[in-house]
Amino acid sequence: MSNQDFLPINGTDYVEFYVGNAKQAAHYYQTAFGFQPLAYSGLETGQTDRTSYVLQQGKIRFVFTTALHPDSSIGEHVKQHGDGVKVVALWVDDARSAFYDTVNRGAKPYMNPTVHNDQYGEVVLSGIHIYGETVHVFVERKNYTGPFLPGFVKWEPSYRPSEVGLKYVDHMVGNVDWGLMDTWVNFYSNVMGFHQMLSFDDKDISTEYTALMSKVMSNGNGYIKFPINEPAKGKKKSQIEEYIEFYHGSGVQHVAMATDNILHTVSELKARGVEFLTVPDSYYETVSERVGLIEEDINELKARGVLIDRDDEGYLLQLFTKPVEDRPTVFYEIIQRKGAKSFGKGNFKALFESIEREQERRNTL
Ligand code: FE2
């Protein structure tokens, strides 16, 4: 693992979405997902071209940014992709070496190392391009004590729905266009020093109609896991193809957020109007045979539609939302790991069939 040590990453620093209306997106993530207000930047803080709201739950930090004028790269991004992830920010101890080391290995620069100051200290930011129009920003914040980043003020509204128990980003999945999976697997391996954990091909992940291929890349300490999906040929259009078509290119497909009490978290999310994919009741008739003994009551899992899978090291509980915008693009996974380090391969077939039922309703199958 020695070649992985050149880019130590402490975790996901934040995920920034470019959206059509940041005020309403922030309200949705507060109300539906229980994110707490953290920081704000906009006209009132001297920011004249954009507005950003920062929300946090556990260690998960989301930023929602919108353009204030038509001539804007943010507005252009939204026009192309709809609401979507622009920045997957990684928390590092040295944003300069993260930039120069990855650029020297072939990364395309997005932002040269830049020092940002305010009364709370100093942050160094740098960035590189990844798939599609998505970027990694390296965040060095060891000399900073402010609420988020210089330029942001504390956001303290009185409206604060409670958290739902989301703790940290477990993994983030990228969908890349036909034939590009290995290009980006090689990027994470050669440029970022990641290693490959797992791979799935179209025999693992296919139904009668649709298929995909997937490889999972992880950094040295295992804190960062990026599965990368590519569509595979099937009888009909796969969910990955559907994403690529509506996102107009490669981009982030889903963010998996971990909880240590999925029964509570999912009950809360459903009560607040978050919509999930469902599997037929028959899934639960055979699940015990497949996964063996688990601590939770199968009937409680069934009542909430939570899926179960097992690998050599334990089991996991997971559930997927429907897309959270009108384009069938970005969605979320809620996951609770009970020892398992995999991604729910045993559920893929049931999930794909569920997604196909949704695609059929959208006339995109
Ligand atoms: Fe996932």
Q: How far is the CA of 6 from the centre of ligand 1 (A)?
A: 27
- Please list the pLDDT of the chain residue by residue as tens digits (365 residues): 445 468 999 999 999 999 999 999 999 999 999 999 999 999 999 999 999 999 999 999 999 999 999 999 999 999 999 999 999 999 999 999 999 999 999 999 999 999 999 999 999 999 999 999 999 999 999 999 999 999 999 999 999 999 999 999 999 999 999 999 999 999 999 999 999 987 766 666 666 666 778 899 999 999 999 999 998 887 777 889 999 999 999 999 999 999 999 999 999 999 999 999 988 888 898 888 889 999 999 999 999 999 999 999 999 999 999 999 999 999 999 999 999 998 888 888 778 788 888 888 898 88
CATH superfamily, domain at 3-154: 2,3-Dihydroxybiphenyl 1,2-Dioxygenase, domain 1 (3.10.180.10)
Cβ pair 100, 6 in contact under 8 A: no
Q: How many CB atoms lie within 10 A of CB 100?
A: 16
So where are the chain's domains?
3-154, 166-362
CATH superfamily, domain at 166-362: 2,3-Dihydroxybiphenyl 1,2-Dioxygenase, domain 1 (3.10.180.10)
Q: How far is the CA of 300 from the centre of ligand 1 (A)?
A: 22
Give burial (CB, 10 Å; 0-12/13-18/19+) of 12.
buried
- Give the C-alpha separation, 113 to 3, whole Å: 23
Domains 3-154 and 166-362 share a fold: yes
- Give the C-alpha separation, 39 to 236, whole Å: 44
Q: How far is the CA of 323 from the centre of ligand 1 (A)?
A: 14
Q: How far is the CA of 283 from the centre of ligand 1 (A)?
A: 19
Write phi, then psi, for 31 (nearest 5 degrees).
-70, -50
Q: How many CB atoms lie within 10 A of CB 177?
A: 18
Cβ pair 143, 122 in contact under 8 A: yes
According to DSSP, the β-strands at 195-200 and 211-218 are antiparallel
pLDDT recorded at residue 210:
66
Q: How far is the CA of 213 from the centre of ligand 1 (A)?
A: 13
Q: How far is the CA of 334 from the centre of ligand 1 (A)?
A: 9
Give 321's DSSP letter. Answer: B
Q: How far is the CA of 319 from the centre of ligand 1 (A)?
A: 9
Which residues, in sequence order, are bridge partners of residue 333? Answer: 256, 320
Q: How far is the CA of 257 from the centre of ligand 1 (A)?
A: 9
Q: How far is the CA of 227 from the centre of ligand 1 (A)?
A: 8
Q: How far is the CA of 193 from the centre of ligand 1 (A)?
A: 22
Two tokens, residue 264: 């509570």
Nearest to 217 by CA among 201, 199, 244, 239: 199
Q: How many CA atoms lie within 13 A of 363 on its CB side?
A: 0
What's the maximum distance between 2 C-alpha atoms anywhere in the chain? 60
The type of residue at 111 is: M
Q: How many CB atoms lie within 10 A of CB 252?
A: 26
Sign of CA dihedral 74, 77, 82, 86: negative
Q: How far is the CA of 306 from the centre of ligand 1 (A)?
A: 14
Q: How far is the CA of 35 from the centre of ligand 1 (A)?
A: 20
- Give the C-alpha separation, 46 to 32, whole Å: 30
Q: How far is the CA of 212 from the centre of ligand 1 (A)?
A: 14
Q: Which residues contact 94 (CB under 8 A, 6 or more apart)?
A: 140
Q: How many CB atoms lie within 10 A of CB 53?
A: 27
Cβ pair 141, 123 in contact under 8 A: yes
Specify the DSSP element, H or E, that contains 240. Answer: helix 239-247
